[in-house]
Structure 1
Amino acid sequence: MPNRLAHETSPYLLQHADNPVDWWPWSPEAFAEARERGLPVLLSVGYSSCHWCHVMAHESFEDETTAAYLNEHFVNVKVDREERPDVDAVYMEAVQAATGQGGWPMTVFLTPDAEPFYFGTYFPPEPRHGMPSFPQVLEGVDAAWRDRREEVGEVAAKVVRDLGERELVYGGGAGVPGEEELAGALLGLTRDYDERHGGFGGAPKFPPSMTLEFLLRHHARTGAEGALEMAADTCEKMARGGIYDQLGGGFARYSVDREWVVPHFEKMLYDNALLCRVYAHLWRATGSELARRVALETADFMVRELRTNEGGYASALDADSDDGSGHHVEGAFYVWTPAQLAEALGEKDGEAAARHYGVTEEGTFEEGASVLQLPSDGGPMAADVRDRLFAARELRPRPGRDDKVVAAWNGLAIAALAETGAYFDRPDLIERATEAADLLVRVHMDDRARLSRTSKDGQVGQNDGVLEDYADVAEGFLALAGVTGEGAWLEFAGFLLDIVLDQFTAEGGVLYDTAHDAEQLIRRPQDPTDSATPSGWTAAAGALLSYAAHTGSSAHRAAAEGALGVVKALGPRAPRFIGWGLATAEALLDGPREVAVVGPPGGELHRAALLGRAPGAVVAVGEPGGAEFPLLADRPLVDGGPAAYVCRHFTCEAPVTSAESLAEALS
C-alpha cells in the first residue's frame, strides 16, 4: 500500500511512495505527529539522480524489517533536496560542522522541534569499512532518545546555537571588489590550476563553470592571456574527456579522477546550461571550432533529452540504467567494450572506433568497459562512426529522467539557449528558450504574484521559490530580452528583482536564501559561495546589476554593489568558490556597458552587439524611442538607418552604424 508520498509531485519522493517505510513529506503535520507520539524524527534527504540514494533505498528503505523498526521508533520524513534547497542547506551545514563532510543521501535525526542531534550520510545495511550499519545507528539513536533524553536535548540546542552564530554580515560596508581583489583571485586560481589536465584541484574534479566565466570576462576586460589560457585549456580537456558525452553531447556531473576520464554519469540540467553558455562565450572570445561544436551539441542535448511536453526542462538523467540483463548499473547506457563496438560497426570499423575513442580491452571503467574519449578530431569517417554508434546506443535501456521543472535551472537554460541560438543562427534554440520562459510565467508565477520553485506535468509544486530561483530566472529573462528585443522579458525580470529587494535583502547588502515571510527553519539559510550552480547571493548581484544597466535604476545598482561586498572579502581567499561573484565584479568594473541598437532585431548591428565581449554588457534592440527598453529613449536613427549607441550609466559615445565599428567599441 503506498505511503503519504504517493500524493507528492517530486519524482524522487514518488520513488519512495511504495516503500514499507511510513514516510511523511516535510510538513508541520509530521512534526506534530512526532510530538504526539514522543518520538524523534528521521530526516532523509536526497534527489532523483543520486546513485547512493538509490542504493540506500534498496538496501534499507525497501527492507521490511528495517522499515518496521523505523515505523515503530521514528517519524520518518523524506525530502527532495532539489525541491527544498532551504531544508537541505540548513541541515547539511549541521552535518558538515559535526562530521567534517557531507553528501547525499543525508541522514539526520531531529527532535520534534526540528533540532538536529545526530548526523550522517549513507549508512550500509551491515558494518562496512569502519562504518556502523544502519540498524546499529537506529538502535543507538533510539536508546539515546529513551535513556538520555536530556543529554540529547542539550546537544540539539547547542547545534542550533552554533548554527545561529554563523550568520554572514558581509555587505555594502565592505566596499565593492576592485582591481586588487580580482588580481588576487586570478593569482589564487593560478596556484590551484592543474596545468597538465586543466581544471582546478584534484579528484574528484567538477566542471568549474562559474570560474571559467570569470576567467573569460577577466581576459576580455584586461587582456590577461593567462586567464584565457586556463579557460580554453580546461574547456578542451573536458570536451575531449569522458565527462563529455562524445556521442550525444552534454556533460556528466563530475569526473571521479583528475584527468576527466571516468564521470559520475548523472547529467544535470544546471551543469549543461552553465557549460553550454561557457563554451558559447569561449567561441565568442576565440573562434574555437571545438567550443562552437560543444556549445551546439550541449544545447541540442538539453532540447532532445531534457525538454518536457510543456516546454520546460527536466532536472536530470540518472547515472544508472538497465545493463540489458535486468541489472541496474551505473554508466551502463554510456560505456563500450571493443566487442560491443565491433557488434555495432563491424570488425574493421569497430577497431577504428576503439582507437578513435580510446576503448581498450582492459577498459577505463568497470568490467572491462571504457568511457568514450576523443584525444583528437577525426575526418568524415569519424562523423559517420559517431552517428552509427549513437543510433546503436539509442536501442539500449535509457536512464531514468527526473521530470520536475526547477525554476532556477530553467532560468540558466533559457539564458544558454537564447545566446547560443543568437550566436550560431539557430532560431529554433531561441524559440525553445522562449517556450521555457513562457512556462515559467504561466505556471510558476502564482496567484500571490510570487515564484514557485518547481512544477511537473504543467502542475505547479507546493514550494516557494528561493533566492536562486528569482535570480536565475531574472538572468534568463534578461538574456532573452536582449536576444529577442521583446521588452516584456525585461519587465518580468524587474518584477522578480523587486521581490528580491523586498523579501530577500537585509541591511547593508546582506542576502538570504529564503524570503522574509518564508517558513521559519532552525536557521535562516544564506550562502554566498558557489556550489554546482551560482549562489543565489551572487546570481542576484549579477541580475540586479544587469537590470540597473537596462533601466538606470539606482536602487537595483546599489543592491548589486552591496551584495558584492562579500566578493571583496572572499574573492582573493577562495576564488574557486565565488566565481559568479567575481564575474559580476568584472561587469561592474567595466560599467557594465549598455548597448542600444536602434533597428531591427536580428540585424547586423544587433548581432555585433550580442557578440561584443565587454563583460556583462546588456543589449536593447528595437525601433527609435521604443517604450519597452529605457535604453532606446532619445536614441534616433542615423541618416535614416540603424545605429548602435554604446553607453555607460546612460551616457553614450557617438553612435556607430557598422558592425565593425560596434565590435571595436565593445572590444
Structure 2
Amino acid sequence: MANRLAASTSPYLLQHADNPVDWWEWGDEAFAEAARRDVPVLLSVGYAACHWCHVMAHESFEDAATAAFMNEHFVCVKVDREERPDVDAVYMTATQAMTGSGGWPMTVVTTPDGRPFFCGTYFPPRRVQQMPSFPEVLAALAAAWTTRREEVLSNAGTIADALGRPVVGSDGPTGSDLVDERVVARALGALGASFDERDGGFGGAPKFPPSMVLEWLLRHHARTGDADTLAMARATLDAMARGGVYDQLAGGFARYSVDATWTVPHFEKMLYDNALLLRVYLHAWRSTGGPLHRRVAEETADWLLADLRTREGGFASALDADSEGREGAFYAWTPGQLRDVLGDDDGTWAAEVLGVTDEGTFEHGASVLQRRHDPDDDARFAAVRDRLREARAARPHPARDDKVVSAWNGLAIAALAEAGALLDRPDLLDAARACARLLADLHTRTGPDDGDRLVRTSRDGVAGNAPGVLEDYADVAEGYLALAAATGEHEWTARAQRLLTTVRAHFGDEDGGLFDTADDETDPVLGTLRRPQDPADGPTPAGPPAAAAALVTLGALTGDLTLREAALAALRAPLQIAARYPRAAGWALATVEALLDGPREVAVVGARDDPATRTLHRTALASPAAGVVVAVGDPDDPGADTPALLRDRPLVDGRPAAYVCRGFACDRPTTDPDTLTQQLR
C-alpha cells in the first residue's frame, strides 16, 4: 500500500512511496502533526542517485518492524536534498557541527517546531563494531523524548542558537579592495600547496572534479600568462579525462574518484558535474587547442543529449551509481567479457589499451575502463569502442533521476550554448535554446515587482512546489546570458535581468551579501533556526559568487554600475575564505579574474546572417580573455531587449564591425577579425 509520497514529483521520494513507513513530505502539516501527537520529527534526507540511501532504505525503511516503531514514536519526514537544498543546508550544518562530518543519507531528529537534537547519517540494521544499529538509535531517542524531555529541549535550544550565528564574519576587504592581485596571489599559494603533481587534482582521496577551481586557473592564465596555473589545470584535466572517472565508452564524468589516481569512481553521473566540466574542457581547448580537451567536451555534450535529456527539453538530474543491485555493474569489465564481445585479438588489445587486467581495478576481478595512453590505431579503437558501447547498452541500465532542477539546467544551457557556438554544432545550440524555453515557460512566473520568480524543479512537465533558491536564479541567469551571447537573441538577456532584479530585491542582507532563500519565500520552520547563507562552493558554485558572476556580465552589457557594485558586495563573504580554502572559492576567484581583466566588452554589429558578422562574432567568442563579454546584433533592427552595449554602434563604412571597450575606454572599431583578436589578446 502506497504512503503519502506517492503523489510527489520527486523521484527520490517516489522510491519510498511503497515503504511501510508512514512518510510525510516536508511542510507545515508534518510539524503540526508532530505537535498534535507530541512526538519528535524524524527527518531523513537523501537523493535518488545516493548509493547508501538505497542501502538504508532496503535495510530499514522496507522492514516492517522498524517501520512500525518509527510510525508509533515519530512523525517521519522524507526530503529530497536536491529539491529542497534549503532544508538540507540547515540540517547538514547541524549534523556537521554535532558529529564532525556529514553526508547522505542524513538522519536528524527534531522537536515538533523543527529544532534538531540528534543528528547522524547512515545507521545499519544491526550493530557494527562501535556503530549502533538503527533500531537502537530509534529506541534511545524515543526513550529520551519520554523520560528526559527537559534535557532534550535544552539541547535543542542550544543547537538552534548555534545555528543562528553567521557563517562568516563581517571583517575583511570591501569594495575595490576585493579586486586585487594580492587576493588572487594568496589563494594561488594555498592552492598550489595542495596540488598533486603526480596524479593531478588537489589533496588526496577521495578526489572530486575541481570544476570551479579549474575555471579560475584557466582565466588566471589567460589574463597573466602564468605557466604554473595552466600546468595545474592541464594536468588535472588530462588525468581525469584518461582515468576511470570519465566514461571512456559514452562520455560523461562520474561524481568523484574514491582513490587519488582517478581510477575507480563513485559511479553516479550528475548533470551539474557534467555541465560544469563540459564548459571547462571547452575553455581549455579554446585556450590551448588541445585535441583531448575538445574530444572530451564534445563527447560530454553528446552524452548529455543522449542520456539526460527529457521529453520536455530539459535535462534530468542524474544517473544512479547502481544497477543489478550493485554499484558500477553497468560500467566494469573483465578481460573475458571484452573477448566475448570483441574476439580474442581485439579483446586482448582492448584490455591493454583500456587498463582491464586479470586482477581487476574494481570489485570481483572487474576493471573500470581507463585510457592512460592513446591507442596505436585510432580507427581500430573507434570500432572497438562502438562495439563495446553497443554491448554495454544491453546490460541493465542505472536508474535515472528525471526531475529537472533549475540551477543545474542553467549550467547546462551555458555549457551547451558555448559549445554549440565554438564547435559549430547547431544541435547543441538548439538543445540549449529548448532547455531555456522550458525554464522560461514552466519554471518561471512573474513576480509581484519587476522581477521573475523561479520554482526549483519540475518533472514530466509538471512544476514542483519548492521555490527557487539563490543558485537557481544565478545559474539560470548565467545560462540565459551565455545563450544570448552565442545566438544574439536578446530575449535571454532581458530574462536574466528580471531574475537578477529579484535577487537584488529579495535575497540581500544589510551588508550587501546574499542569502540562499528569498525574504518572502524562506521556509517558516527554517526561518526560526537559520536563514541559509552559504558562501562556499560545493560540487556547484555557491549562490553568492554565482550571482556575482552573472551581475558582472549583465553590468557589462547594460552599463549599469550598480550591478558591478552589487557583485562586489556579493563576493565579500566568499573571498573571506579564499586564502585559506581556495578550493571552496573557485567561482568567486574566477569572477575576480574577470573583473581584473576589465571586463572586456565586445559589441559586434551587423546583420546576423552576414558572413562577416558571423566571423567577427565567432572571433569574439573564441577569445580566452578572462573577462570577455560579447553581444551581437543588427544596428538597423534595435529591439526593446537590445542591451545598451549594442546601442549607438554603427556599421563601419557599411560593413559589420566590432567595438571593444575595457575600463570605461574603447578601442577603435574594427572590421578585421585579426585586429579583433589582437585587441582581445
CA contact (8 A) 1:177 1:564 kept: no
- Aligned counterpart in structure 2 of residue 578 of structure 1, from 571, 585, 594: 585
Residues 561-576 of structure 1 correspond to what in structure 2 (within 5 A)?
561-576=568-583
Distance 2:4 2:576 in 1: 46
Deviation at 1:348, TM superposition (A): 1.1
1:38 corresponds in structure 2 to 38
Tell me the secondary structure at the aligned position of residue 271 of structure 1: helix
Matched, 1:464 2:467: yes
Instruction: Give a deviation string over 1:194-241, Cα, whole Å, max 9, x none.
Output: 000000000000000000000000001111110011001100000000
2:409 corresponds in structure 1 to 410
Deviation at 1:172, TM superposition (A): 7.4
Distance 2:585 2:60 in 1: 38
Matched, 1:372 2:402: no
The alpha-carbon distance between structure 1 residues 309 and 245, as it changes in their structure 2 partners (threshold 3 A), is same
Residues 16-35 of structure 1 correspond to what in structure 2 (within 5 A)?
16-35=16-35
Distance 1:103 1:31 in 2: 24
Q: Which amino acid aligns with 1:216?
A: L
Could you tell me which runs of 5 or more consecutive residues in structure 1 were left unpaired when the two chains were aligned: 323-327
- Aligned counterpart in structure 2 of residue 257 of structure 1, from 256, 259, 277: 259
Distance 2:298 2:129 in 1: 44
1:624 corresponds in structure 2 to 635
Distance 1:397 1:440 in 2: 31
Matched, 1:341 2:338: yes
The alpha-carbon distance between structure 1 residues 129 and 640, as it changes in their structure 2 partners (threshold 3 A), is farther
Farther-moved stretch of structure 1 (625-634 vs 280-289): 625-634
Tell me the secondary structure at the aligned position of residue 293 of structure 1: helix
Matched, 1:495 2:509: no
Q: Which amino acid aligns with 2:302?
A: D
Deviation at 1:505, TM superposition (A): 1.1
2:269 corresponds in structure 1 to 267
Q: Which amino acid aligns with 2:19?
A: N
1:451 corresponds in structure 2 to 454
Q: Which amino acid aligns with 2:252?
A: G
Residues 281-300 of structure 1 correspond to what in structure 2 (within 5 A)?
281-300=283-302
Distance 2:512 2:596 in 1: 18
Distance 2:129 2:453 in 1: 48
Residues 573-612 of structure 1 correspond to what in structure 2 (within 5 A)?
573-601=580-608, 603-612=614-623
Distance 2:214 2:299 in 1: 19
Distance 1:8 1:502 in 2: 31
Farther-moved stretch of structure 1 (631-640 vs 208-217): 631-640
Residues 370-449 of structure 1 correspond to what in structure 2 (within 5 A)?
370-378=367-375, 379-446=378-445, 448=447, 449=452
Farther-moved stretch of structure 1 (82-91 vs 127-136): 127-136
Instruction: Give a deviation string over 1:556-579, Cα, whole Å, max 9, x none.
Output: 111001112224422222111110
Matched, 1:182 2:196: no
Deviation at 1:609, TM superposition (A): 0.4
Q: Which amino acid aligns with 2:536?
A: T
Farther-moved stretch of structure 1 (534-543 vs 569-578): 569-578
1:646 corresponds in structure 2 to 660
Tell me the secondary structure at the aligned position of residue 78 of structure 1: strand
Instruction: Give a deviation string over 1:372-425, Cα, whole Å, max 9, x none.
Output: 000111221111101110111111111000000000000000000000111110
1:87 corresponds in structure 2 to 87
Deviation at 1:167, TM superposition (A): 4.2
Distance 2:627 2:339 in 1: 49
CA contact (8 A) 1:255 1:264 kept: yes
Distance 1:402 1:431 in 2: 23
1:301 corresponds in structure 2 to 303
2:486 corresponds in structure 1 to 483
Distance 1:470 1:356 in 2: 44
1:325 corresponds in structure 2 to none
CA contact (8 A) 1:206 1:254 kept: yes
Deviation at 1:446, TM superposition (A): 2.5
Q: Which amino acid aligns with 2:256?
A: Y
Instruction: Give a deviation string over 1:245-264, Cα, whole Å, max 9, x none.
Output: 00000000000000000000
Instruction: Give a deviation string over 1:148-181, Cα, whole Å, max 9, x none.
Output: 0000000000001011123435487464231001
Distance 2:544 2:78 in 1: 27
- Aligned counterpart in structure 2 of residue 353 of structure 1, from 350, 353, 364: 350
CA contact (8 A) 1:359 1:371 kept: yes
Q: Which amino acid aligns with 2:34?
A: A
Distance 1:178 1:96 in 2: 33
Tell me the secondary structure at the aligned position of residue 612 of structure 1: coil
State the TM-score, normalized to the length of structure 2.
0.96
1:14 corresponds in structure 2 to 14
Instruction: Give a deviation string over 1:636-665, Cα, whole Å, max 9, x none.
Output: 111111110111255321012122111111
Farther-moved stretch of structure 1 (126-135 vs 599-608): 599-608
Instruction: Give a deviation string over 1:472-500, Cα, whole Å, max 9, x none.
Output: 00000000000000000000000000000
- Aligned counterpart in structure 1 of residue 203 of structure 2, from 176, 188, 201: 201
Q: Which amino acid aligns with 1:59?
A: E
Distance 2:466 2:676 in 1: 45
Aligned residues: 662
Farther-moved stretch of structure 1 (129-138 vs 470-479): 129-138
Instruction: Give a deviation string over 1:10-54, Cα, whole Å, max 9, x none.
Output: 000000000000000001010000001010010000000000000
Distance 1:619 1:203 in 2: 39
Farther-moved stretch of structure 1 (123-132 vs 650-659): 650-659
CA contact (8 A) 1:49 1:317 kept: yes
Tell me the secondary structure at the aligned position of residue 82 of structure 2: coil
2:545 corresponds in structure 1 to 538
Matched, 1:559 2:559: no
Distance 1:492 1:190 in 2: 39
CA contact (8 A) 1:169 1:510 kept: no
Distance 1:495 1:172 in 2: 29
CA contact (8 A) 1:172 1:509 kept: no
Q: Which amino acid aligns with 1:71?
A: N
1:246 corresponds in structure 2 to 248
Farther-moved stretch of structure 1 (568-577 vs 275-284): 568-577
Farther-moved stretch of structure 1 (423-432 vs 445-454): 445-454
CA contact (8 A) 1:550 1:629 kept: yes
CA contact (8 A) 1:177 1:568 kept: no
Tell me the secondary structure at the aligned position of residue 450 of structure 1: strand
CA contact (8 A) 2:536 2:574 kept: no
Q: Which amino acid aligns with 2:619?
A: A
Instruction: Give a deviation string over 1:47-99, Cα, whole Å, max 9, x none.
Output: 00000000000000000000000000110000000000000000000000010
Distance 1:568 1:29 in 2: 40
Deviation at 1:614, TM superposition (A): 1.4
Q: In angstroms, what is the RMSD of aligned CA positions?
A: 1.2
- Aligned counterpart in structure 2 of residue 222 of structure 1, from 191, 202, 224: 224
CA contact (8 A) 1:197 1:259 kept: yes
Could you tell me which runs of 5 or more consecutive residues in structure 2 were left unpaired when the two chains were aligned: none
Tell me the secondary structure at the aligned position of residue 446 of structure 1: strand
State the TM-score, normalized to the length of structure 1.
0.98
Q: Which amino acid aligns with 1:665?
A: Q
